[in-house]
Amino acid sequence: MQAKDFGLSCWQVAGGLLMSAGLLAIAAPALATEQAQQRQDGRGVKQDAKQEARQEKVDCRQENNKSNAACRQDKRETKQDGRDQARDIKR
């Protein structure tokens, strides 16, 4: 009798594992899709920040009569702000 009981519990365990795997298979793509969207949004923010920083540096040099080094630092700060915003999106 113990062999039958063991066989039945193995089937129950196997069925439980199969159901768990099925649930994970359904949930995993939804999570991956959300992460992909967050990555894409973050990438867009960083690209916008880069473009803004480029234009800001050009404007800085033309209008403010600052040194190239000062304008470069402004550009770095603008890009860093963009990176920070992208990190906030992923949280």
Contact 45, 84 (CB under 8 A): no
84 belongs to a structural domain: yes
Residue 11 falls inside a structural domain: no
Residue 60 lies in a domain: yes
Per-residue pLDDT of 23-33, as tens digits, reads 666 666 666 78
Paired tokens of 50: 């880069």
Tokens 């916008």 belong to residue: 48
**What are 35-61's pLDDT values in tens digits?**
888 888 889 989 999 999 999 888 888
- Identify whether 80 is part of a domain: yes
Q: Give how many domains the chain has, as a whole number.
A: 1
Query: Does the reported pTM lie above 0.75?
Result: no
Residue 86 lies in a domain: yes
Q: Does 70 map to a domain?
A: yes
pLDDT at position 66: 77
Give the domain extent around 58: 47-91
